[in-house]
Amino acid sequence: MQDNARRQLRQLLGPENFLEEREDCLTYAFDASEGACLPEAVAFPETAEAVSEILAIANTHRIPIVPRGAGSGLTGGAVPLSGGIVMTMNRMNRIISVDTDNLQAIVQPGVITARLHAAVEAKGLFYPPDPASMDICTIGGNLAENAGGMRAVKYGVTKDFVMGLEVVLANGEIIHTGSRCIKDVVGYDLTRLFVGSEGTLGVITRAVLKLLPLPEGKQTLLAAFGAMEAAAQTIADVIKSGIIPTTMEFMDKHCIRAVTQYQDTGLPVDAEAVLLIEVDGTPHAIETGIKRVQAVCTANRALSVDVARDVADQERLWQSRRAIHAALGLVWPRWEEEDIAVPIARVPKMVRRIDDIAKETGAFIVCFGHAGDGNIHVSLAPHDKNTPHEALTQARAAILKDAIALEGRIAAEHGIGLIKRNQIGWNLDAPTLNLMRQIKGLLDPNGILNPGKVFPSTLTCSAPFGH
């Protein structure tokens, strides 16, 4: 970074908001993926105007900028491959307003997702997107990755709740997309262009989010199965039954046993798979939905079907789902993660193929996830210290290719980032990728915004180190 640019940024932000010491930069060199790369500096803007000025300076001096939320991403989206500046948005953390008349919230990107949930629920409203990391992740990161969560079965993902955005472009210009109107066909739908763009097209500094009335209640059901295939078929059959649950999660036998060792959850340890299904709404809708789900589970030879007795019992069941990653860490210290999506009716076939891939490659593969919307999380590890790493590489490639063969996608809610950039062409044809490159070139002609992400690239870390 040129000395002139450093001086301008120090003057703009002050020493407390522009860090350059190595130990400070180390903290922002990685996210929750396996990647790590040392930035030259870390910036903490507090206003959209500050973001604008930072980007104008960076664009003039060709300094890479990597926007960062909480660093909880799993595909390397916040890893500063080209050094440059990590722009951390956590000081822009205001919930500007919660509008109970129009069912909207206006927020800055540094707001923790769970904090927004609590704020709107205190007013009898509901913001459905609930990524597993919601206690630490930020709205800005959710927007950048188009995060989903367990409630996506019924309510959809982040993009379905974004009405408008304030975005700073690479040259420092501040633009506004969408509006606070439910119906709005004025111009192109630029809002959806930026949601899910992983910080490669602009920096989001404000969002208008759609809210819903808080459901009157909810009920949770745990169904155990003697075969993963029966559980997978139940997922498709529940949807066909005319009931759309709030959530429909599954765990395979490896997850069940790992979680049971990690904490006392009361899961049936002899089951090959379990489904956690939740229905919300009015008392009548809940009763009808739960009865129909129970009937489908029974028809698919469930070993047991238990309805939570009370709120504490519901929380115990969902805690078992949230504990999977921590529990798997006791089984093996480092897992490789995959995040795929297939059409809901293809989930049984995909689960069968994952089991076959484990046998074919010798990799230890664990499955869980948001199966009610076709999103399967796959964790891979060696069977033992003698398992070659090539087995995991082969298994990951096979899983992605089989998902594509079933008309699925290589990423569902974790993004493309660094980890899957060279596989994006497996899903997108050349003309589509070319159009994406043209859009990127128009909005970021100097390529300063999150370089080396999303698009196929050979770019490697400019300042590697271990972490």
CATH says 332-420 is which class? Answer: alpha beta
pLDDT at 337 over 70: yes
Same fold, 215-324 and 332-420: yes
In CATH, what number does 215-324 get? 3.30.70.3450
pTM of the model: 0.94
405 pLDDT higher than 80: yes
pLDDT digits (tens, 9 = 90+) for 171-203: 999 999 999 999 999 999 999 999 999 999 999
Q: What are the tens digits of pLDDT across the range 68-94?
A: 999 999 999 999 999 999 999 999 999
Domain limits, the chain: 3-88, 95-213, 215-324, 332-420
Which is higher by pLDDT, 424 or 236? 424
User: What number is the average pLDDT over the span 24-53?
Assistant: 96
In this prediction, residue 466 carries a pLDDT of: 54
The mean pLDDT value of the chain amounts to 95
pLDDT (tens digit per residue) in 120-142 = 999 999 999 999 899 999 999 99
Cα distances (angstroms) measured from residue 203 to each of 9, 15, 108, 302, 450: 17, 22, 11, 48, 10
- In this prediction, residue 266 carries a pLDDT of 85
Q: How many Cβ atoms are within 10 Å of 467's Cβ, its own excluded?
A: 12
- Supply φ then ψ for residue 141, to 5 degrees: -65, -40
Q: CATH number for 95-213: choose from 3.40.190.10, 3.30.43.10, 3.30.465.10, 3.30.420.40.
A: 3.30.465.10
Confidence grade of residue 417 (pLDDT, cut at 50, 70, 90) = very high
- Give the pLDDT confidence of 267-286 residue by residue, as tens digits: 999 999 999 999 999 999 99
Q: Predicted confidence band at 300 (pLDDT cuts at 50, 70, 90)?
A: very high
3-88, which class in CATH?
alpha beta
49-53, 76-80, 240-244, 433-437: which has the minimum mean pLDDT? 240-244
What does the pLDDT read at residue 467? 44
